[in-house]
Structure 1
Amino acid sequence: MSHSFDQLETPFVAIDLDVVENNIKTMQDRAAERRLTVRPHTKTHKQPFLARKQFNRGATSLTVAKLDEAEVMLQAGFSDLLIAYPLVGAAKAYRLATLMVRGLRPTVSIDSLVSMRTLSQAAALAQRPINVLVEVDTGFHRCGLTGSAVIELADAIHNEPGLTFQGLMSFAGHIAGNTDRAVIRRIIRDEDEQMAQYRKNLESRHLAVETVSVGGTILSHNMDVIEHATEIRPGIYIFNDMGIVYSGSVKIEQCAARIWATVVSQPAENRAVLDAGSKMLSTDGPLKGAYGYVVGFPGWTIARLSEEHAVVEIAPEAPRPEIGDRVSIIPNHICTVMNLQNNVVGVENGQVTAILPIMSRGGTH
């Protein structure tokens, strides 16, 4: 199948598969040089076709956030998955056990005894072991433990039937929004040193730490700072977005995902309206005062979003649009954009060559 963009109804998301391949290869090659394994986070693309591309380039395993995503990847043949989210409650235990009986070989990150007991219940139901990572809070202050609580939970996992303590996991989400490369690298270095100290403390108690897993695309683009982690979990890198561009990690040309939209109104000289609103672009941001970057139109700022409208403010010196013009937009945060789509189009050499269903969109369970 091969179609031109002109045959497609806007708005739509187009994925440049040539850029995707280069992004995957670049990350994998750099990680190999640093002797880091790559466990890509599939919550970004939510799509087995793209996960296969990552696997074929050398990813050792995949990361998911929720069991819905795990089920989609398992159905596609990916059985070794990191569930980077604390599972809590009998319903989660039963569902995890069901997936394990179907072939899932999970590693799960947790930060509480309650989650540990949920996993223990799942292991007993499935009669299969579960590898467990303790999540460490290195400064993001979301999930994760600090201080002696890390050691105490690791000890408990080690002594819990059906569970295997495998190591540590962290996510330095407080990197996001920084544009100063020195600050970004200082945060990464601080996380790396914290994880090294936790590993040393655990090993002094004769607890083997096989995995030290750190996450995030900005971190992964600065992996030369990392000295102690064993694996990285980038997600956005497969596409990149304006959040990654503004961090100084990539160039616009390395952004594989574009939202195509049409100018449907120009009610004033300094204002235009596009047919891609919050249902396409998401409300993440704004970054630098904009809800996405209009490619090739300097001086255009997506200043406001309604559900079906993007209101563009046009600087006096900027090119003027005509109603019917089509433009492409690089989103601020591609993960939320993908979660809003039923399908995206795959593009090679400027031609649409694939329609890719977003298999785990809306997968919140």
Structure 2
Amino acid sequence: MTPLAELATPALLVDRTTLERNVADMASSLRGAGVTLRPHFKTSKCLEVARRQLDHGAIGFTCSTPAEVRLLQDEGVGDLLWAHQPVGPAKVAFAVEALRRGGLTLGLDSAEVAAPLASSGVTVPFLLEVDTGLGRTGVDPDRAVETATRIAGLPGLELRGVMTHEGHLGKHRDRTALEEAGRRAGLLLASVASDLRAAGFDCPIVSVGSTPGATSAPFAEGVTEARPGTYVYYDAGQVRLGSATLDRCAQTVLTRVVSMQRPGTVIIDAGVKAMSSDGLAGGALGTVCDVSGRPLEGVVFGDGNEEHGYLTGDGTARLRPGDLLRIVPNHACGTTNMWSGLHVVEDGRAVDHWPIRARH
């Protein structure tokens, strides 16, 4: 066991007790609603975390990248959803290879994307991706039956259900409005599934996916599966959305004050390469806490270079070079991808080190 003060900074930390509580609570909530859990692997990219999710009943994982699919297939995880359009020769070739290994379902939203897979000679199970408000990938609901008919008409393409990512919930700052928007997204997806069944398709999977929506969308009548990811760690962004309280944030970045040359500004040794700027909100790169995890009043992490962070505010007057701090990132998923490993923390000490894999 290593005291935090003896770790080289910056360092990525995950509190074991908080992680295990988050994993258990989400699994219990969805199990109670009769909804299966297929968490997004991109949040942790860590097999030790994935094993805990499987131990609590996850049926498999949602993947973003070929590297994630390959890693989990190599580990023998047999029920994966690749929730990214496999466009381009390299991704098509990988999809065919992974489909031959078995246990993979693709997310598709057009016949144009599906067509190169149809000549591969392999069976291609797919979920039709439906846009329920995000405006990213996903077919409009009123074109779902037409699109599914075109895709399923291609050789080897087999519709297994529908999916959506209700990422637009993050635009809501009022939790009541967010919950209602999540419920509407779930109901809309279930309605699309009903339309597909009426058109003669089997549609056993109705899959929603987000941590902000995990308390609403999966509980809409007709939804069968949920794909949250960030819940294993939570983050400052989820705290702002009301998805969690700060004490549920398992991931932090350990950093030290390294310079105080200008009044009102403190420099730390964690910059954007330690934090990721994704999820920047409220003029901050993350929530600044003391080494025990208590937020520091009057201190804002407002800017950063590659290896330096800028803390400002009246509270910086209390800081000195060498002081140890912990930053709760705005977005856990983006922060994870910046690191090759994490320190597991218990009772203020690092007790283990877990690799992070399948990074870009």
TM-score, normalised via structure 1 length: 0.93
Q: Distance in 1 between matches of 2:137 and 2:44?
A: 23
Q: Are 1:320 and 2:314 an aligned pair? A: no
User: Which among 190, 195, 199 is matched to residue 205 of structure 1?
Assistant: 199
| Contact 1:242/1:333 (<8 A) preserved | yes
For 2:189, the equivalent position in structure 1 comes to 195
User: Which among 189, 208, 211 is matched to residue 214 of structure 1?
Assistant: 208
Q: Distance in 2 between matches of 1:121 and 1:58?
A: 36
User: Which among 333, 356, 359 is matched to residue 358 of structure 1?
Assistant: 356
Following TM superposition, by how much is the alpha carbon of 1:318 offset from its aligned partner in structure 2, in angstroms?
6.2
For 2:307, the equivalent position in structure 1 comes to 308
Following TM superposition, by how much is the alpha carbon of 1:228 offset from its aligned partner in structure 2, in angstroms?
2.2
Residue by residue, what CA displacement relative to the aligned partner does 1:64-87 show, whole Å, maximum 9, x if unpaired?
011111011112221321000111
Structure 2, unpaired ranges of 5+: none
For 1:106, the equivalent position in structure 2 comes to 104
Q: Are 1:332 and 2:330 an aligned pair? A: yes
For 1:76, the equivalent position in structure 2 comes to 75
For 1:28, the equivalent position in structure 2 comes to 27
Which amino acid in 1 is paired with 2:303? R
Residue by residue, what CA displacement relative to the aligned partner does 1:101-140 show, whole Å, maximum 9, x if unpaired?
4x34111111111221233244x1xx4x221011111111
Q: Distance in 2 between matches of 1:330 and 1:168?
A: 34
For 1:231, the equivalent position in structure 2 comes to 225
| Contact 1:27/1:221 (<8 A) preserved | no
Q: Distance in 2 between matches of 1:7 and 1:119?
A: 52
| Contact 2:208/2:217 (<8 A) preserved | no
For 1:52, the equivalent position in structure 2 comes to 51
Residue by residue, what CA displacement relative to the aligned partner does 1:316-349 show, whole Å, maximum 9, x if unpaired?
x666101100100000001111111111111233
Q: Distance in 2 between matches of 1:6 and 1:50?
A: 25
Q: Distance in 1 between matches of 2:300 and 2:106?
A: 41
Q: Are 1:290 and 2:289 an aligned pair? A: no
| Contact 1:93/1:121 (<8 A) preserved | no
Q: Are 1:242 and 2:236 an aligned pair? A: yes
For 1:163, the equivalent position in structure 2 comes to 157
Q: Distance in 2 between matches of 1:251 and 1:218?
A: 13
2:343 match: secondary structure: strand
Q: Are 1:66 and 2:60 an aligned pair? A: no
Following TM superposition, by how much is the alpha carbon of 1:266 offset from its aligned partner in structure 2, in angstroms?
1.2
Sequence identity of aligned pairs in percent?
A: 31
Q: Distance in 1 between matches of 2:45 and 2:254?
A: 20
Structure 1, unpaired ranges of 5+: none
Q: Distance in 1 between matches of 2:297 and 2:353?
A: 31
Following TM superposition, by how much is the alpha carbon of 1:171 offset from its aligned partner in structure 2, in angstroms?
0.8
Q: Are 1:87 and 2:86 an aligned pair? A: yes
Which amino acid in 1 is paired with 2:359? R
Which amino acid in 2 is paired with 1:336? G
Q: Distance in 2 between matches of 1:29 and 1:258?
A: 25
Q: Distance in 2 between matches of 1:17 and 1:104?
A: 33
Q: Distance in 2 between matches of 1:260 and 1:52?
A: 25
Q: Distance in 1 between matches of 2:10 and 2:246?
A: 21
User: Which among 164, 168, 172 is matched to residue 166 of structure 2?
Assistant: 172
Which amino acid in 2 is paired with 1:99? A
- Return closer, same or farther for 1:326/1:356 CA change in 2, 3 Å cut-off: same
- Return closer, same or farther for 1:187/1:208 CA change in 2, 3 Å cut-off: same
| Contact 1:31/1:223 (<8 A) preserved | no
| Contact 1:282/1:337 (<8 A) preserved | yes
For 2:13, the equivalent position in structure 1 comes to 14
Following TM superposition, by how much is the alpha carbon of 1:223 offset from its aligned partner in structure 2, in angstroms?
5.0
Following TM superposition, by how much is the alpha carbon of 1:200 offset from its aligned partner in structure 2, in angstroms?
1.8
Q: Distance in 2 between matches of 1:180 and 1:239?
A: 22
Q: Distance in 2 between matches of 1:355 and 1:260?
A: 14
2:41 match: secondary structure: coil
- Return closer, same or farther for 1:177/1:323 CA change in 2, 3 Å cut-off: farther
Q: Distance in 2 between matches of 1:165 and 1:224?
A: 21
Residue by residue, what CA displacement relative to the aligned partner does 1:169-226 show, whole Å, maximum 9, x if unpaired?
1111111142201220121122122112212211111111110111100111335752
Residue by residue, what CA displacement relative to the aligned partner does 1:284-304 show, whole Å, maximum 9, x if unpaired?
243222110011311100111
Q: Distance in 1 between matches of 2:140 and 2:342?
A: 41
For 1:342, the equivalent position in structure 2 comes to 340
User: Which among 125, 128, 132 is matched to residue 126 of structure 2?
Assistant: 132
TM-score, normalised via structure 2 length: 0.94
For 2:177, the equivalent position in structure 1 comes to 183
